[in-house]
Structures are given as structure tokens and as C-alpha cells.
């Protein structure tokens, strides 16, 4: 776990150093989270809301193809289960068409901390005592596919709107009962760019 967190921190510094000389891409989405078997359902009710913000780093990019990595921070609230905050990264490939449409596939890994949404009690000394919720650590892999549209299809740094279907697993969930819990997030989001002012020091 410590090695994983160290890798995430290293990625943050990598994104920061690259972004100093370029426009910074920002991905912002809201999503509906559900506990379901991936790729069996598209939209589920009731809605369990979530929000995600992240950025990207291109490894290789042409007018039509792009290999990239993401770094994301997300939060969801499932009223009947738990709430969680997560930091994760994905390796993605995007195909961009001349008409502005694009399609992507992403494979990710992340760390999540979950908290109960209702009070929990333990039986001690012949009475029930409310249990303090310190949270639970989760490891979660993910697989996502999305489709999007570039609003300014001729520009490299065009804003992009997208719909993303993200399947992911929560592990360990309940080792003595259900070791792995599968989830699906349906994202609706936008990608845009912000400029960062940089200063250079000359000797």
C-alpha cells in the first residue's frame, strides 16, 4: 500500500512538471454509482451521486490517435451502502474522428477510503456501543469505455463533452462474506483546458 501511494505522489509531480509548459487539461464529471454486474445494465435507479475531477498526461498524440494517462480524485454517496473518496490513475487510448466524435478505452487502478452512511454498533460488556467509523481501505481496478465530442473539432485543445461507462471492483469488501463488490459508474462530463502562468529564473 505504501508503494502504491508513493507511485501516486510521483505521478502528481510528473503531471505538475509537464503542465508547467502546456495548457492543463481538466476532466470534470458527475456520475451515478451502482452496485451491479458490469456491462449488464447501463442506467440504474435509485441514483447514487458522485463527482470526479482529474487531469491527463499524453504519452503519444497525433491528430487521430492518443495514448495518455489520467490522475483523478472522486467521491460518491451510496445511501444504502457507504460513501467513498478515491484517488486513481488510468492508462487510456483515444481514437478521434474528423467529424469531432471520439472513442476511448481506459484501464485503471486506485486507492479508496470508504465510510458507513449509517450508525454502527458493537456488543460489549452486555450492551451495544456505537462504533467509531475510521473508514476502510479499498483497492480498486477499473475498466472504462467512453464516447465524446470535440466542440472545436479542428483544434488540438478543444473542449470535449463525454459519456463514460466505468466498471470497477472494490476489494477487500467483506472478507468473511463478499470479498469483492462490483460497481458501475455512469459519467457525464466535460474536458477543458486552463492556462498556467509560469516564471523562469535566469542566472
pLDDT digits (tens, 9 = 90+) for 166-187: 999 999 887 677 888 999 999 9
- Whether 142 is covered by a domain: the verdict is yes
Q: Would 155 be classed as within a structural domain?
A: yes
The answer to whether position 125 is within a domain reads: no
The pLDDT-based confidence of 162 (bands split at 50, 70, 90) is very high
Closest by Cα among 36, 74, 31 to 54: 74
- Binned at pLDDT 50, 70 and 90, residue 11 comes out as low
Q: Is residue 73 within a helix (H) or strand (E), and if so which, with residue range? A: strand 65-77
Whole domain around residue 101: which residue ranges? 27-115+137-194
- How far is the C-alpha of 169 from the C-alpha of 180, rounded, in Å? 7
Any domain includes 13: no
Domain of 38, CATH number, reads: 2.40.160.20
pLDDT reported for residue 126: 59
Contacts with 80 (C-beta within 8 Å, 6 or more apart), sequence order: 117
State pLDDT tens for residues 88-144. 999 999 999 999 999 999 999 999 999 987 655 455 665 556 566 678 899 999 999
Number of structural domains, the chain? 1
- pTM exceeding the 0.85 threshold for the entire prediction: no
45 within domain boundaries? yes
pLDDT of res. 104: 98
Does an H or E element contain 51, and which? strand 49-61
Q: Which cell goes with 4?
A: 502504491
126, part of any domain: no
174 occurs within a structural domain: yes
What pLDDT shows up at residue 201?
45
* Residue 81 covered by a domain: yes
Q: Tell me how far CA of residue 139 lies from CA of 168, 172, 181, 196, in angstroms.
A: 10, 7, 11, 33
Mean pLDDT estimate for the chain: 85
> What is the pLDDT, as a whole number, of residue 202?
44
**pLDDT for res 80:** 79
Amino acid at each position: 500500500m505504501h508503494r502504491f501511494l508513493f507511485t501516486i505522489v510521483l505521478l502528481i509531480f510528473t503531471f505538475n512538471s509537464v503542465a508547467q509548459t502546456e495548457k492543463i487539461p481538466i476532466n470534470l464529471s458527475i456520475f451515478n454509482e451502482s452496485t451491479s454486474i458490469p456491462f449488464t445494465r447501463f442506467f440504474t435507479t435509485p441514483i447514487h451521486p458522485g463527482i470526479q475531477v482529474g487531469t491527463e498526461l499524453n504519452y503519444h498524440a497525433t491528430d487521430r490517435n492518443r495514448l495518455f494517462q489520467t490522475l483523478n480524485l472522486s467521491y460518491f454517496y451510496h445511501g444504502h451502502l457507504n460513501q467513498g473518496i478515491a484517488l486513481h490513475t488510468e492508462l487510456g487510448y483515444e481514437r478521434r474522428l474528423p467529424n469531432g466524435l471520439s472513442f476511448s478505452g481506459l484501464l485503471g487502478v486506485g486507492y479508496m477510503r470508504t465510510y458507513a452512511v449509517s450508525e454502527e454498533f458493537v456488543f460489549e460488556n452486555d450492551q451495544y456501543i456505537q462504533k467509531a467509523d475510521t473508514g476502510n481501505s479499498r483497492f480498486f481496478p477499473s475498466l472504462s469505455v467512453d464516447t465524446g465530442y470535440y466542440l472545436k473539432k479542428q483544434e488540438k485543445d478543444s473542449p470535449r463533452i463525454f459519456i463514460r461507462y466505468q466498471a470497477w471492483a472494490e476489494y477487500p469488501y467483506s472478507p468473511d462474506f463478499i470479498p469483492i463488490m462490483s460497481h458501475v459508474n455512469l459519467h457525464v462530463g466535460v474536458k477543458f483546458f486552463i492556462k498556467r502562468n509560469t516564471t523562469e529564473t535566469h542566472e
